[in-house]
C-alpha cells in the first residue's frame, strides 16, 4: 500500500436508522457502486456491509446496517439489531438517518442507542424530495436538535448527487488524519459471492415483499468465476411449503422471472455472461432457529 502524506484522512463511518429511511441508498450513492441492496420494503438490509471510498486525499469506510426496530422480536431480528449495536464501537462518525419529517418509536430507539456513543454525530434528514410542506422542516430540526448533540444536521435526498457530495465533504472535515485503512482499490469488505446472493434476495423481495416479507434467505452453492462466464447455483430458502409454492409460481413462472431479473443485474455488475440456476428449499421456521440462521450465514 502506498504511504500517504500526513494530511491524508481516513476513518470509519456507520450509517444507522430505523428500517426504510434510505441508509442503503445513501451508502450506494456515497461510494458510487451498488454494494447494498435497496427495496421499497422495510428490513431489506440484514447485515453490516462495508463500502469503501478512496480518493487521493481521504479514505472513508462506511458501514451500512439493518434498520433498527422492535416491531419484530424473533431470532433474525435480534441478530439484525445486534449488527447495528456492533457497528457503533471504534468508529469516528455516525450518520443517523431519519426521514423528513417523520419521527416514530423506532427513530427514538436509535436516538437512545446513540446517547452511549462517543463518535461525532451527523443527523441526515433524508427524502427531502418527498416533503411537500417545506415550512415543517425547521420545527422538525429544532425538535431533533434537543435529542442529541449533533455536530451537523444535513437535510438531503439520497437520490441527488450534489446533496450527497455536500454530505461527504462534511464527513471528511470530521475524519482524523491517518494512512488508508484498506487497499485503495477495494470497494467493499464483502465477497462477490455474498453480493451475488444479495442481488438475488433483492429480486425476491421486490417481487414477493408483500407475500413473504422477511421469510426468504439466499445461499450460493456453486460460484465458478471464469474469464468469459460466471456460473452460479443459488438456493432460496423459505420457512414453509406454502411459501415455496408462492415463490415457484404456476409452471415455475415466478422463479423464472426472479432468476431472469437477477441474472441481468449480475451481468451488469460482473461485466460478463452469467449462468444462474435457482432452487427453492424449505427450512422450517429458520427465522427462529439459531442453528439454521448460522447455516444461512447469520453468524
Ligand X SMILES: Nc1nc2c(ncn2[C@@H]2O[C@H](COP(=O)(O)OP(=O)(O)OP(=O)(O)O)[C@@H](O)[C@H]2O)c(=O)[nH]1
H helix and E strand count, the chain: 9, 9
Of residues 24, 157, 216, 243, which one binds Mg ion by CB under 5 A? 24
Task: Tell me the window of 39-47, 113-121, 217-225, 231-239 that interacts with ligand X (CB under 6 A).
Answer: 39-47
What is the torsional sign of CA 11, 17, 23, 26? negative
Residue 293, C-alpha cell as written in the block: 440462521
User: Cell for 88?
Assistant: 457503533
* Rounded Cα distance, 218 and 234, in Å: 7
Q: By CB under 6 A, is residue 76 in contact with ligand X? A: no
Cβ closest to Mg ion, residue 4 vs residue 23:
23
Cell representation of residue 173: 472535515
216 binds ligand X (CB under 6 A): no
Task: Report what 43 binds from Mg ion, ligand X, none; CB cut-off 5-8 Å by kind.
Answer: ligand X
Stretch that binds Mg ion, among 41-49, 102-110, 181-189, 274-282 (CB under 5 A): 41-49
Cell 406454502 belongs to which residue?
Answer: 242
Is-contact 55 10, C-beta < 8 A? no
Nearest residue to ligand X, scored by beta-carbon proximity: 67
Give the nearest distance from C-beta 24 to ligand X in angstroms: 3
215 near ligand X (CB under 6 A) = no
> Shortest approach of Mg ion to residue 227 CB, angstroms?
33
77 binds ligand X (CB under 6 A): no
Q: Which of 11, 51, 66, 180 binds ligand X (CB under 6 A)?
A: 66
Residue 25 touches Mg ion, criterion: CB under 5 A: no
Q: Which of 45, 81, 87, 120 binds Mg ion (CB under 5 A)?
A: 45
- Does the protein bind ligand X through residue 42 (CB under 6 A)? yes
Output 203 or 283, the one with its CB closest to Mg ion. Answer: 203
Cα distance between residue 116 and residue 20, in whole Å: 24
Can you read off the three cell numbers belonging to residue 292?
439454521
Least CB distance to ligand X at residue 64 (A) = 7
Question: Which range, of 121-129, 191-199, 230-238, 258-266, touches ligand X by CB under 6 A?
Answer: 121-129
DSSP structural state of residue 45: -
User: Could you say whether residue 201 binds ligand X (CB under 6 A)?
Assistant: no
Stretch that binds ligand X, among 144-152, 155-163, 268-276, 277-285 (CB under 6 A): 155-163
- What are the phi and psi torsion angles at 178 (to 5°)? 165, 170
DSSP state for residue 34 in the 8-state scheme? -
* Partner from ligand X, Mg ion, none contacting 25, C-beta within 5 to 8 A by type: ligand X
CB of 79 closer than 8 Å to CB of 293:
yes
User: Interface with ligand X includes 209 (CB under 6 A)?
Assistant: no
Cβ–Cβ under 8 Å, residues 19 and 67 = yes
Pick the closer one to Mg ion by CB: 156 or 280.
156
Residues 50, 63: contact at Cβ < 8 Å? yes
- The C-alpha atoms of residue 92 and residue 121 are separated, in whole angstroms, by 9
Identify the DSSP state of 188. B
Torsion sign over Cα 108, 109, 112, 114: negative
Stretch that binds Mg ion, among 23-31, 153-161, 204-212, 283-291 (CB under 5 A): 23-31
Residue 32, phi-psi category: left (phi > 0), alpha (psi -120 to 50), beta (remainder)? left
User: What is the contact surface with ligand X in residues (CB under 6 A)?
Assistant: 17, 19-25, 38-40, 42-45, 66-67, 126-127, 129-130, 157-159
Amino acid at each position: 500500500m502506498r504511504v500517504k502524506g500526513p494530511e491524508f484522512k481516513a476513518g470509519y463511518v456507520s450509517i444507522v436508522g430505523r428500517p426504510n429511511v434510505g441508509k442503503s441508498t445513501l451508502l450506494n450513492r456515497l461510494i458510487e457502486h451498488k454494494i447494498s441492496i435497496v427495496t421499497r420494503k422495510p428490513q431489506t438490509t440484514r447485515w453490516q456491509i462495508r463500502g469503501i471510498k478512496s480518493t487521493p486525499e481521504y479514505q472513508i469506510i462506511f458501514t451500512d446496517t439493518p434498520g433498527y426496530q422492535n416491531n419484530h422480536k424473533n431470532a433474525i431480528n435480534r441478530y439484525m439489531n445486534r449488527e447495528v449495536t456492533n457497528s457503533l464501537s471504534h468508529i469516528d462518525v455516525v450518520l443517523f438517518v431519519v426521514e423528513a419529517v417523520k419521527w416514530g418509536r423506532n427513530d427514538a430507539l436509535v436516538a437512545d442507542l446513540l446517547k452511549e456513543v462517543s463518535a461525532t454525530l451527523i443527523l441526515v434528514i433524508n427524502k427531502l424530495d418527498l416533503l411537500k410542506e417545506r415550512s415543517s422542516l425547521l420545527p422538525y430540526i429544532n425538535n431533533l436538535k434537543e435529542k442529541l448533540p449533533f455536530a451537523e444536521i444535513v437535510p438531503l435526498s439520497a437520490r441527488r448527487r450534489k446533496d450527497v457530495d455536500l454530505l461527504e465533504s462534511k464527513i471528511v472535515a470530521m475524519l482524523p488524519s491517518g494512512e488508508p485503512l484498506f487497499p485503495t482499490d477495494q470497494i467493499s469488505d464483502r465477497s462477490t459471492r455474498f453480493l451475488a446472493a444479495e442481488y438475488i434476495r433483492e429480486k425476491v423481495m421486490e417481487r414477493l415483499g408483500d407475500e413473504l416479507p422477511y421469510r426468504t434467505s439466499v445461499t450460493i452453492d456453486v460460484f465458478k468465476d471464469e474469464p468469459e462466464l460466471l456460473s452460479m447455483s443459488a438456493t432460496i430458502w423459505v420457512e414453509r411449503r406454502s411459501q415455496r409454492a408462492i415463490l415457484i409460481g404456476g409452471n415455475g413462472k415466478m422463479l423464472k422471472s426472479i432468476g431472469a431479473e437477477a441474472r441481468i443485474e449480475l451481468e451488469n455488475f460482473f461485466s460478463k455472461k452469467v449462468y444462474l440456476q435457482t432452487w427453492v428449499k424449505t427450512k422450517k421456521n429458520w427465522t427462529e432457529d439459531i442453528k439454521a440462521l448460522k447455516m444461512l450465514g447469520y453468524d
